[in-house]
C-alpha cells in the first residue's frame, strides 16, 4: 500500500531571500555618495582612503585662500601631485611646506641649483626634478603677485561662480572648459606644468569649483546627500 507523505508548510524566506523594497535598493554609484563616519560627521567618500586624505579633506580641501601666498601654495600642491594616484600624496603636503620655504613664492624664488639637488635626495618629497624646478620657476614668476592679480587670472579665464555640489563623487569632473582656459591663461603668464586637470583641482582646492559632495560637513551649508 502506497502512502502519501504529509504536506508541510514551506519554510519562510530567509532575510537574504526577502525582496528589498525599492526605496532601499542601492547601486554601485551609491558607494560614491557622502558617508556617515564614526565620529558623527558626514564626509566625501574619498576622505576615508587614508589618514593623509582625511586630514586634507577636513582642513584644506575647498578652503578659499586668505592671501596671495595661499593661492600659490594651493596651486603648487596640485602641481606636485599631478600624474599620481589621487590623494595618495596628501600625507606629504606638510613636507613640501617644511622643506620648500613654507611654499612662499618670495622665498622659493631665491632657491638655486644646490637647493634643487638637496631636495632631490629628500625622501619626504616627490623626488621629481621637473616638478621641483617648475615650483621654483613659478615662484619667480608670481612672487610679487597680490590677491587682485590672482583674481584677474580667474577673470581672464572666465571661471564661472561655484556651482552646487553634486550628490555623487563620480560627477566631479577631472577637467572643464573653464580649467582648460585657466591652464592656458596661466601658461601665458609664465606658469608651467599646470594642465587642465591640475587647474581643475586647484579650483576645487580653493573653493572656486565644487570639490565636495552634497551632505559633506565641509560645505558651508550641507545639503542632504
Decide if 200 contacts 179 (C-beta within 8 A): yes
What are the backbone angles phi and psi of residue 164, rounded to the nearest 5°? Answer: -65, 145
Q: Sorting pLDDT into bands at 50, 70 and 90, what band is 18?
A: low
Alpha-carbon gap, residue 99 to 47, rounded angstroms: 25
Q: Which residues are annotated as a binding site for Zn(2+)?
A: 44, 57, 212, 216
Q: What angle do CA 185, 191, 193 make, to 5 degrees?
A: 105
Mean pLDDT, rounded, of the chain: 91
| Cα→Cα distances 158→67, 73, 87, 179, Å | 21, 22, 28, 9
**What is the DSSP track for 119-174?**
HHT-TTS---HHHHHHHHHHHHHHTT--HHHHHHHHHHTTPPPPPPPPSSGGGS-S
Average pLDDT on 85-98 reads 95
For residue 20, the model assigns a pLDDT of 45
Task: State the first-to-last Cα distance of the chain, in angstroms, to the nearest integer.
Answer: 68
Short-list 72, 29, 66, CA closest to 167 = 29
* CATH class for the region spanning 45-206: mainly alpha
Domain-wise residue ranges, the chain: 45-206
Q: Which residues are annotated as a binding site?
A: 44, 57, 212, 216
**H helix intervals, the chain:** 51-59, 68-81, 93-99, 105-108, 113-120, 129-142, 147-156, 177-188, 196-205
What are the backbone angles phi and psi of residue 45, rounded to the nearest 5°? Answer: -60, -35
For residue 223, the model assigns a pLDDT of 43
Q: Sorting pLDDT into bands at 50, 70 and 90, what band is 225?
A: very low
Question: How large a percentage of the chain has pLDDT more than 70?
Answer: 87
For residue 26, the model assigns a pLDDT of 74
For residue 74, the model assigns a pLDDT of 98
Amino acid at each position: 500500500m502506497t502512502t502519501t507523505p504529509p504536506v508541510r508548510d514551506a519554510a519562510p524566506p530567509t532575510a537574504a531571500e526577502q525582496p528589498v523594497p525599492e526605496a532601499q535598493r542601492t547601486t554601485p554609484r551609491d558607494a560614491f555618495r557622502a558617508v556617515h563616519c564614526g565620529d558623527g560627521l558626514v564626509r566625501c567618500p574619498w576622505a576615508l582612503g587614508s589618514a593623509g586624505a582625511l586630514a586634507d579633506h577636513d582642513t584644506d580641501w575647498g578652503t578659499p585662500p586668505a592671501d596671495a601666498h595661499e593661492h600659490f601654495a594651493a596651486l603648487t600642491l596640485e602641481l606636485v601631485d599631478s600624474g599620481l594616484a589621487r590623494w595618495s600624496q596628501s600625507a606629504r603636503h606638510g613636507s613640501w611646506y617644511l622643506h620648500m620655504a613654507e611654499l612662499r613664492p618670495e622665498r622659493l624664488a631665491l632657491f638655486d641649483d644646490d637647493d634643487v639637488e638637496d631636495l632631490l635626495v629628500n625622501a619626504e618629497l616627490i623626488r621629481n626634478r621637473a616638478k621641483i624646478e617648475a615650483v621654483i620657476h613659478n615662484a619667480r614668476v608670481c612672487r610679487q603677485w597680490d590677491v587682485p592679480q590672482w583674481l584677474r587670472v580667474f577673470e581672464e579665464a572666465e571661471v564661472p561662480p561655484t556651482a552646487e555640489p553634486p550628490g555623487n563623487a563620480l560627477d566631479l569632473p577631472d577637467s572643464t572648459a573653464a580649467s582648460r582656459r585657466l591652464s592656458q591663461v596661466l601658461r601665458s603668464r609664465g606658469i608651467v606644468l599646470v594642465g587642465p586637470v591640475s587647474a581643475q583641482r586647484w579650483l576645487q582646492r580653493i573653493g572656486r569649483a565644487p570639490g565636495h559632495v552634497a551632505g559633506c560637513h565641509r560645505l558651508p551649508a550641507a545639503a542632504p546627500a
